[in-house]
């Protein structure tokens, strides 16, 4: 406790630590009204700055850890401004990147280096290449007088009156009141747009009359994040493969159930790590290994293959897009770093709410506005309908929390995936009549092919009527859907049309069928083989096609096999099948023990079947980026030839919806060059 000396000046003892007041989520509804003030939501380490009368400075984390040695550049900055008074400030330690935005990743990287060197002779390394800043947003004590009982407005006023002699190291967070905004003919929504454009994490709304309540999560502070983050407990990991061999590949995550306190499984995270961080994490994980999983209920067996379990003592933070109601899983996660300032006992699982239809990509993936926007509202109850904006159209969606895959992947997540993958999916559907495979009760229920557009399809959906193959003009033509825009893809997903299949030809503006423009080889592994064997056959096909002047590109089927595509020109609809059959038969003659060109199942054991018949104008192939109706939401995924050649295990080429979204962020569309490599069919 700070005391007064006989001369009236304070003694140099450091004021006591004040446990921080915490904000509650605002449920998506930004608080508005003259009783509210607003501050930027910061993306760093929460810290209490305690300054003695002689300027001695102590930095303490939100859970009482001493940060002082880690951030020595912040010590003594306010000594002159306080003029012999002690003080306690609440704020956040942050790092700014070259673009002038707060960068939590850089702060984490700096902390990793500090942790590595603090036990060595280099422990005083200043890390001047990563400048630190303390952004203060509350004044809790000044000159030996506690301000905890004063209203926020009073504390804020006294904080802003303190001189800031070095604002590049210590500065006051910018604040706004509702009244100030109104005077400028602006609203909190305008402020939120500014916050979003400038790269901040969100806003904190604070009740102007509220006292400071240490250690409490209060309704007087309401946080409105623009990205979703949550703390997690590291409970295990999967070893890396390929280039990550010998290092952690992904972490298995947990948190405490907010009602029971049980440790529950939340899913995993495999992206967002730097190479240096993977190495540092592996070193810590090695010292924490345990034999059995630590959860109250064992995770799904499919999630724990190759898992190494660790003592649940490390706390980290992830960005996520969804938390599924049915399975209680975090979806589309990205690692942000360890949180040394938080205890495992504090980490609670999110409440099980319905996932949003389409959240903006977060972290490193935040590149565009969400394709589908839903007005802020309470999550809909199961079975209710919501209206969303998809491109230029408004659609009504229903049953978003209905589980369509055994692992808990919901209809809302299916719609979310298709809305986000649409920019790279749509070029592969353009002008091609679509056959749907629908799973209205999920992949464990009844499924059916649907070629004709179903009753109730929107009037704006383009369709085309095409005579049935082999009908000689006597059969009823089929009315196919054409999916040429985001809204059409979302409409299909809302029907639980998990799989999209298209032919190797397109229709013109007049609805007439054009000649085939793609050649396809479908490689189907027979009993005793896998996609690994398909890759070896694909390499041979690649060389043969290249010799004929064609440029093959590869993708997985999303099931067991894979396909090769070549963009071609031909005037004969029968020519692609004839060419593909001839090439398939050649490979079968050369290696009859490994390849067959015959569809008969008796001929396929231990062999890869090259299905050349999918070039028949009546046949379709699963579209690139289509989901498949399997136990997990796997996707027909474009591949690089390096991936094909390097494949030695079937699991290397299994990609889920989450994986594919990350791949597209990193690589773009690996089939984007298909049409520019078009060549005449030999």
Question: What pLDDT is attached to residue 471?
Answer: 41
Residue 616 phi, psi dihedral angles, 5° rounding = -60, 135
Q: Taking the domains of the chain in order of start, what are their residue ranges?
A: 31-178, 228-346, 372-502, 518-680
Going by C-alpha positions, the residue among 158, 180, 174, 173 that lies closest to residue 81 is 158
Q: Which residues of 523-534 are buried (b: 16+ CB within 10 A; e: fewer)?
A: bbbbeebbbbbb
Q: DSSP assignment, residue 368?
A: S
CATH number of this structure's domain 372-502, picked from the four choices 2.60.120.10, 3.40.50.2000, 3.40.50.300, 3.90.920.10 = 3.90.920.10
Going by C-alpha positions, the residue among 131, 143, 213 that lies closest to residue 171 is 131
Rounded Cα gap, residues 411 and 399, in angstroms: 7
**What does 168-204 look like in DSSP terms, one character per residue?**
TTEEEPPEEEHHHHHHTT--HHHHHHHHHHTT--EEE
pLDDT means over runs of 10, the chain (682 residues): 40 85 84 92 91 94 87 92 94 84 78 67 57 94 95 95 92 91 87 78 92 91 84 92 76 91 91 81 92 91 84 91 68 83 87 40 31 36 68 88 84 91 94 95 86 90 83 69 94 95 93 93 95 96 96 96 97 95 96 93 91 94 96 93 92 90 88 92 94
Rounded Cα gap, residues 395 and 491, in angstroms: 7
Token pair listed for 148? 């905890």
Question: What pLDDT is attached to residue 119?
Answer: 54
User: 3-class SS at 219?
Assistant: strand
CA 348 from centroid of its chain's CA atoms:
20
Q: At what angle do helices 411-429 and 486-494 cross, to 10 degrees?
A: 140
pTM over the 0.85 mark: no
Edge-to-edge strands of the sheet including 621-622? 448-450, 435-438, 497-502, 621-622
* Residue 109 contacts residue 277 (beta carbons within 8 Å): yes
User: 3-class SS at 515?
Assistant: coil
Rounded Cα gap, residues 507 and 148, in angstroms: 72
- Fold designation for 518-680: Alpha-Beta Plaits (3.30.70)
CATH 2.40.50.140 fits 228-346, yes or no: yes
Q: Which residues of 368-386 are buried (b: 16+ CB within 10 A; e: fewer)?
A: eebbbebeeeebbeeeeeb
- Fold designation for 31-178: D-amino Acid Aminotransferase; Chain A, domain 1 (3.30.470)
């Amino acid at each position: 406790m700070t005391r007064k000396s006989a001369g009236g000046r304070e003694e140099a003892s450091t004021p006591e630590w004040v446990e921080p007041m915490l904000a509650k989520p605002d449920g998506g509804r930004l608080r508005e009204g003259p009783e509210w003030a607003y501050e930027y939501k910061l993306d760093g380490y929460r810290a209490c700055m305690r300054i003695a009368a002689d300027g001695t400075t102590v930095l303490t984390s939100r859970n009482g850890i001493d940060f002082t040695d880690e951030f020595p550049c912040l010590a003594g900055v306010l000594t002159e401004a306080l003029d012999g008074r002690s003080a306690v400030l609440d704020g956040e330690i942050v790092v700014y990147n070259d673009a002038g935005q707060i960068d939590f990743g850089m702060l984490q990287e700096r902390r990793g280096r500090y942790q590595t060197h603090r036990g060595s002779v280099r422990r005083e390394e200043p890390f001047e290449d990563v400048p630190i800043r303390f952004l203060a947003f509350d004044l809790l004590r000044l000159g030996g007088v506690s301000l905890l009982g004063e209203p926020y407005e009073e504390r804020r006023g006294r904080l802003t009156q303190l001189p800031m002699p070095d604002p590049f190291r210590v500065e006051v967070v910018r604040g706004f009141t509702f009244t100030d905004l109104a005077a400028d003919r602006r609203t909190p929504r305008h402020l939120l747009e500014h916050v979003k454009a400038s790269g901040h994490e969100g806003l904190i709304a604070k009740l102007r009359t509220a006292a400071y309540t240490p250690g409490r999560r209060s309704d007087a502070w309401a946080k409105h994040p623009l990205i979703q983050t949550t703390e997690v407990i590291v409970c295990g990991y999967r070893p890396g493969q390929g280039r990550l061999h010998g290092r952690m590949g992904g972490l298995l995550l947990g948190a405490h159930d907010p009602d029971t306190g049980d440790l529950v499984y939340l899913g995993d995270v495999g992206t967002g790590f730097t190479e240096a961080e993977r190495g540092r994490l592996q070193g810590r994980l090695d010292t924490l290994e345990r034999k059995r999983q630590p959860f109250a209920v064992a995770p799904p067996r499919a999630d724990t293959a190759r898992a190494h379990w660790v003592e649940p003592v490390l706390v980290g933070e992830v960005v996520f897009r969804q938390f599924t109601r049915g399975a209680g899983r975090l979806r589309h996660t990205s690692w942000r770093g360890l949180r040394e300032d938080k205890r495992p006992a504090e980490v609670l699982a999110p409440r099980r709410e319905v996932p949003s239809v389409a959240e903006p990509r977060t972290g490193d993936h935040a590149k565009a506005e969400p394709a589908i926007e839903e007005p802020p509202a309470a999550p809909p109850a199961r079975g209710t309908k919501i209206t969303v904006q998809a491109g230029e159209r408004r659609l009504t969606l229903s049953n978003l929390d209905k589980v369509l895959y055994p692992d808990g992947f919901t209809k809302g997540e299916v719609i979310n995936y298709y809305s986000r993958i649409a920019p790279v999916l749509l070029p592969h559907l353009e002008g091609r009549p679509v056959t749907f495979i629908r799973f209205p009760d999920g992949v464990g229920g009844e499924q059916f092919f649907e070629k004709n557009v179903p009753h109730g399809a929107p009037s704006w959906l383009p369709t085309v009527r095409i005579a049935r193959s082999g009908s000689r003009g006597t059969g009823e033509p089929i009315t196919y859907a054409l999916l040429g825009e985001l809204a059409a893809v979302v409409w299909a997903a809302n029907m639980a049309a998990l799989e999209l299949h298209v032919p190797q030809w397109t229709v013109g503006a007049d609805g007439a069928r054009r000649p085939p423009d793609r050649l396809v080889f479908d490689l189907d592994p027979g009993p005793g083989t896998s996609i690994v064997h398909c890759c070896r056959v694909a390499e041979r096909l690649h060389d043969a096609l290249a010799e004929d002047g064609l440029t093959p590109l590869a993708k997985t089927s999303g099931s067991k096999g894979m396909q090769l595509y070549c963009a071609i020109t031909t005037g004969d609809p029968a020519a692609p099948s004839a060419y593909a059959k001839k090439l398939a038969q050649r490979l079968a003659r050369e290696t009859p023990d490994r390849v067959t060109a015959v569809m008969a199942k008796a001929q396929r054991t231990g062999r890869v079947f090259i299905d050349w018949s999918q070039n028949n104008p009546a046949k379709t192939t699963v579209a690139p980026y289509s989901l498949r109706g399997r136990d997990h939401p796997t996707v027909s995924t474009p591949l690089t030839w390096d991936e094909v050649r390097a494949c030695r295990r079937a699991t290397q080429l299994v990609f889920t919806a989450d994986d594919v979204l990350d791949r597209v962020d990193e690589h773009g569309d690996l089939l984007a060059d298909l049409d520019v490599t078009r060549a005449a069919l030999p």
